[in-house]
């Protein structure tokens, strides 16, 4: 169900605070190209890259080929889903590996 635009505008300023409180990160990607349009500070820290090296890049430029393919497949599945979709991923960046949940929503 689409969110009422007035309600969405009222809730938007709360989102960064909720994410920080819960230790969650946020990224926004262009659906057609897969280019990253936004990455919040927590995500940039995890990627160990400044915004200039992330914004405008595709997932395939930020991760190894296997990881990028898995993430892009999940992105594409979310585009065809009627509602938000959660997926679990295990990703290694350099010598650090971690597991995370991704909540994807077509907007």
Q: In this predicted model, what pLDDT tens digit does every residue of 30-64 receive, in sequence order?
A: 888 889 999 989 889 888 899 999 999 999 999 99
What pTM value is reported for the model? 0.76
Please report the pLDDT score of residue 28 as a whole number: 87
Q: Looking at residues 15-31, what average pLDDT do you find?
A: 83
Q: Could you tell me the CA-to-CA distances from 45 to 14, 51, 54, 65 in Å, in that order?
A: 21, 10, 11, 21
Nearest residue to 46 (alpha-carbon basis) of 27, 67, 69: 27
Give residue 107's pLDDT band: very low, low, confident or very high (50, 70, 90).
confident
């Amino acid at each position: 169900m689409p969110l009422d635009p007035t309600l969405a505008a009222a809730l938007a300023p709360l989102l960064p605070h909720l994410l920080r409180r819960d230790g969650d990160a946020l990224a926004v990607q262009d659906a057609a190209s897969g280019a990253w349009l936004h990455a919040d500070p927590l995500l940039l820290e995890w990627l160990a890259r400044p915004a200039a090296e992330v914004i405008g890049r595709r997932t395939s430029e930020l991760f190894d080929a296997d990881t990028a393919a898995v993430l892009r497949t999940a992105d594409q599945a979310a585009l065809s889903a009627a509602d938000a979709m959660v997926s679990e991923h295990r990703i290694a960046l350099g010598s650090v590996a971690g597991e995370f949940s991704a909540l994807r929503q077509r907007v």
